[in-house]
């Protein structure tokens, strides 16, 4: 995702719920055949691909160490621990 790859994942679990569904509801599948449909749809929609690539890259920011550090500091400040 950090390189702009668009993830297509099974529509269940953490990868779907916490990451990919935030990029697009169209990137989840329940049947293996759905993956082919998703890829074909994206092949024909370069504008949507560009949008999803951007969102994929943005989503990666949530998993960087610096983002985690900032969120922990904010939480501690809210709790009055700093």
Give me the pLDDT at residue 81, please.
Answer: 84
pLDDT in tens, 17-72: 989 999 999 999 999 999 999 999 999 999 999 999 999 999 998 889 999 999 99
Rounded CA separation 7/23 (Å):
9
For the entire predicted model, the pTM comes to 0.75
Separation of first and last alpha carbons in the chain? 34
Rounded CA separation 18/81 (Å):
28
| Phi, then psi, of 69 in degrees rounded to 5 | -60, -45
In the chain, where the domains are located = 9-78
| 11 burial via Cβ count (<10 Å: 0-12, 13-18, 19+) | middle
């Amino acid at each position: 995702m950090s390189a702009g790859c668009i993830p297509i994942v099974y529509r269940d679990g953490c990868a779907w719920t916490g990451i990919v569904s935030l990029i697009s509801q169209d990137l989840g599948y329940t049947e293996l055949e759905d993956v082919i449909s998703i890829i074909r749809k994206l092949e024909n929609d370069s504008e949507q691909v560009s949008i999803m690539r951007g969102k994929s890259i943005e989503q990666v920011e949530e998993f960087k160490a610096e983002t985690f550090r900032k969120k922990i500091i904010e939480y501690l400040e809210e709790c009055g621990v700093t």
